[in-house]
Amino acid sequence: MNSLQDKVAVVTGASKGIGAAVARGMGAAGASVVVNYASSKADADEVVAAIQRSGGKAIAVQGDMSRPQAVRQLFAESGSTFGRVDVLVNNAGVYNFAPVGEVTEEVFHRDYDLNVLGPIIAMQEALKLFPAEGGSIINISSIVSANPLAGMLVYASSKAALDVVTKVSARELGSRNVRVNSILPGFTETPGNSVNGDLRATMLSQTPLGRLGRSEDIARVAVFLASPEAAWITGETIRVSGGLL
């Protein structure tokens, strides 16, 4: 499938997990891919190599997406290499769990700088490189933005804020044919995010499809939203959770 042939996709936080799967999926669909990473250079290089082995084009660009200047540099390198951007996937994120009484300013700003401010700056920079025919912005949110649990005040609220960014931006950018959507993954097992024991059994029992998510489950939806097949979809928050809610 070459639904993204001749397109350029920037995927933040793409060295591992969901981001890596999204980057590989974009490459498999024909896009040239900018694989952003914060610190895991070896992992990012492997994602690039996997795309290239399949005949695609990709580069790895280091940058902490909580820092506006690093975000701007990411898009400067993307533009100088590929000349344009058609798809932005805001995947880079962080989570901190703490009860209300233990939330600190440091924890708040760590989550909001990366989960909310970073995507906003990335959108601003991507818009400068989108072609006249428009583009697609995909924000990777979380199911907890709609169904928060105890101890998730800062993380869940940052993802809820990202969903509002999606809805407002979709209204503002529709006239430019720029579509903006959020994907809300349920619990998705990745190398750095796994669950076992009673908690796993509980989550499986509450998920109608009977399993936890895989990174590829999210990647397939992201590729669809980036493609022409999703040309009439914008401002949506799409739950990909096996029916958890």
- Which residue numbers are catalytic? 155
**Position of tokens 């591992």?**
16
